[in-house]
Amino acid sequence: MLLCLIMGRSAWAGSDTSSARDGWDFKQTAAQFTALCEEVLATAAATFTAIELDPEPASLQGVFGAYDAMMIDLQRIEHAWYMKAVHPDSRVQTAAEECIARYNDFLAGVNLSPTFYRRVAAIDLTGASAAERFMIDRKLRAFHQAGVDRDEATRDRVRALITEITRLGSAFEKAIRMDKRSVETNEQQLAGLPRDFLDSHPENAQGTILVSTDYPDYLPVMKYAVNDDLRYRLFKAAKNIATPDNRETLKTLIRRRHELAVLLGYETYAALAMDGLMAAEPQAVQRFLAQLDGAVKKPADCDVNTLLARLRQVDAGAQQVQAWQVYWLENRVRQEDFALDAEQVRTYFHFDRVQAGIFRLTEDVFGVEIVPWHTSTWHPDVTTWEMREQGVPIGRFYLDMHPRDNKYGHAAHWALRRGLKDRQIPLSGMATNFPRGLMEHRQVESFLHEFGHLLHNMFSGTQQWFDISGMSMERDFVEAPSQMLEHWAWDYETLQEIAMDDNGRTIPAPLVEKMNAARHFGEAANTAAQIFYASLSLEYHNRDPDSFELLSLMRALQAQYSPYPYVPDTHFYNNFRHLNGYASNYYTYQWSQAIAIDLLSRFERRGLRDRATARDYREKVLAPAGSKPAADLVADFLGRPFSPAAYSKYLGQLTPEMTAVCLGQ
């Protein structure tokens, strides 16, 4: 599935659409993709051998120029990660998984090559730019992290472990993707659900309705269904996805990661995974999470006590709020204490209008144009788009936004190709599981979150070197731009672009005021839950794997951090996807949220739609890509260093409205 790298103005057909030759050939079979994968990797292997054997003195262009060319050509199979998540043909998904394993094995060999390491270390950096010096320093660090300076037997074992870790991670994600669960119910038990939901879920001949654990079913049921047993059964089904299949897979994955870390001289895998990131070490993450936990305890208790008081109105003997009751109770509190009707809110968020509104927001704030891009896709649901600036294309992207069988079950963004100045434009892919009709407001937030990642990739095509282009910055920074963009979902001026009902009426300002008044209710408790997830991710990878059992350690951490008790006979860790992609580093979401709150402060001073601030943000935070430390990007934009103290203060504060609700006034 070839990614064409040659594009020019002659490819455009009209001012409002693009028919440029680019993207993938989706008519390829699994066998054809496997052949392409083999061809690309064979070419890369030959190129890399030539780089190692080059007799010329090491120079930046001679060594990294050739390496860049190799990495650019490898992007012809970079979309394999996206394919395994979204392609409807399971054979193509399997071919993509196998290609990923071979791709990772090849890159492991690159980072374990003593010859290539010596070539890079010998580069004369006289006259090199600051970005080029940073690039070389970071590459040398990566060599040492990979074990390039170890003996041959150790390097061989490292490479074998990386291959096995990739295979186990793919198996972990595949088990989650393939395990589609549902519960049986009927219209009586669905009391409380909106009419459009009921209309789209008719009873079968036996009088039964199937409700799945996919988000378009799961979220409305958990939020609106009055029937507590239905919510309980659906919650248990969701939290047992890939159980028991992933139990041994995950345990083995954690063991192999630990073995790799120890082999490379690290105490734990978390120490290896955080080396070179903003946080730098597990101890810093533990301190960060403890700081957040201390800040959020009281407001989280306030949230839970408010929910418990509401629960006792229907169950006088209730002693605890259970996890399957949270969304429903939060909705009731917002209705009764904030006069916010969630069903009324959702009438303004039809998927098609939301997407069009987010496009208009992007065009208005960043001064770009988004037009249809005519290219082949893998499914009729998929739409394709081109982003232009002053008539010139700066990026293209795929949107695969609705659920179907064997598709990735959450929301995510894939950087399919890095942009390189004057050489190639970025290519991105998104996948979500939003309904085709009315959306929940939190799904609008999720859309903006993933679109924030996409914009980051679109705007980062300004660097000349592959290694510092695209989204190549520290992993614990990469969520910050996307989390910041979520805040636009609460801005009335923005919602006027996004929110409109079937009669063409824009969401009224008083309703948005109610939404904002209720906005922070539940946020503290949700943050406490996120601290639990981050701690689980960290502690699974920050000790000897043979010293704990998955379930018992999860239960202990849940008791320590989560505002809600463990639900017996559930196994969340088996379907916690981020244990593959982020491993020990799920703390990234809270770390990046702290940065996002800081970044947002500049927008708030001038207004979220201020073009000058957006331009500065784009140029100083997004466009530099990985050409300097992420801390410098933040400082360049804010005029001061980032500090997590601002986020701790934010979490520890209650709005006047929240204080009144918590105290029952």
Q: What is the mean pLDDT of residues 543-561?
A: 97
pLDDT grade, residue 660 (50/70/90)? low
For residue 662, the model assigns a pLDDT of 62
Domain tally, the chain: 3
For residue 651, the model assigns a pLDDT of 82
Measured CA to CA, the distance from residue 573 to residue 581 in angstroms comes to 13
Same domain, 217 and 230: yes
The pLDDT tens digits for 579-605 are 999 999 999 999 999 999 999 999 999
User: Does any domain span residue 359?
Assistant: no
pTM score, whole prediction? 0.90
Q: What is the mean pLDDT of residues 230-258?
A: 98
The pLDDT tens digits for 331-386 are 999 999 999 999 999 999 999 999 999 999 999 999 999 999 999 999 999 999 99
Q: Give SS3 for 81.
A: helix
The pLDDT tens digits for 519-548 are 999 999 999 999 999 999 999 999 999 999
For residue 611, the model assigns a pLDDT of 96
Q: Say whether pLDDT at 11 is over 50.
A: no
Instruction: Report strand pairing: 427-431 vs 412-417.
Output: antiparallel
Phi and psi, residue 218, nearest 5° = -60, -50
For residue 106, the model assigns a pLDDT of 96
For residue 13, the model assigns a pLDDT of 34
Same domain, 535 and 589: yes
Q: What is the mean pLDDT of the chain?
A: 93
* 111-115, 189-193, 299-303, 642-646: range with lowest mean pLDDT: 642-646
Same domain, 68 and 136: yes
User: Does any domain span residue 156?
Assistant: yes
- Choose the final residue of a domain: 206, 221, 239: 239
Same domain, 274 and 150: no
Q: Say whether pLDDT at 6 is over 80.
A: no
pLDDT grade, residue 659 (50/70/90)? low
- Which of 570, 557, 574 lies closest to 232, judged by CA? 570
Same domain, 64 and 172: yes
For residue 510, is the peptide bond before it cis, meaning its omega torsion is within 30 degrees of 0?
A: no
Read off the CATH number of the domain in which 548 is found.
Answer: 1.10.1370.10
Q: Say whether pLDDT at 14 is over 90.
A: no
For residue 19, the model assigns a pLDDT of 79
Read off the CATH number of the domain in which 128 is found.
Answer: 1.20.1050.40
Same domain, 149 and 232: no
The pLDDT tens digits for 492-502 are 999 998 999 99
Same domain, 233 and 253: no
User: Does any domain span residue 449?
Assistant: no
Name the percent of the chain lying above pLDDT 70. 96
- Choose the final residue of a domain: 160, 176, 192: 176
Q: What is the mean pLDDT of residues 29-41?
A: 97
Same domain, 220 and 287: no
Same domain, 111 and 165: yes
Q: What is the mean pLDDT of residues 235-242?
A: 98
Q: What is the mean pLDDT of residues 323-337?
A: 96
For residue 661, the model assigns a pLDDT of 55
- Choose the final residue of a domain: 239, 256, 289: 239
Which residues are within 8 A (CB) of 284 and not within 5 positions of it... i.e. 6 or more apart? 274
For residue 1, the model assigns a pLDDT of 29
- Which of 111, 86, 107, 91 lies closest to 32, judged by CA? 91
DSSP calls for 570-612:
--GGGG-THHHHTTT-TTHHHHHHHHHHHHHHHHHHH-TT-HH
Q: Say whether pLDDT at 656 is over 50.
A: no
Same domain, 170 and 54: yes
Measured CA to CA, the distance from residue 525 to residue 67 in angstroms comes to 48
For residue 5, the model assigns a pLDDT of 27
564 lies in which domain range? 241-338+521-665
User: Structure tokens of 289?
Assistant: 């999470």
User: Does any domain span residue 296?
Assistant: yes
Same domain, 171 and 269: no
Measured CA to CA, the distance from residue 308 to residue 315 in angstroms comes to 10
The pLDDT tens digits for 458-480 are 999 999 999 999 999 999 999 99
- Which of 433, 220, 248 lies closest to 327, judged by CA? 220
User: Does any domain span residue 530?
Assistant: yes
Q: N- to C-terminal Cα distance for the chain? A: 62
Strands (E) across 85-193 are located at: 182-185
User: Does any domain span residue 483?
Assistant: no
Same domain, 199 and 252: no
pLDDT grade, residue 644 (50/70/90)? confident
User: Does any domain span residue 383?
Assistant: no
- Which of 363, 413, 365 lies closest to 387, judged by CA? 363
User: Does any domain span residue 308?
Assistant: yes
Q: Give SS3 for 469.
A: coil
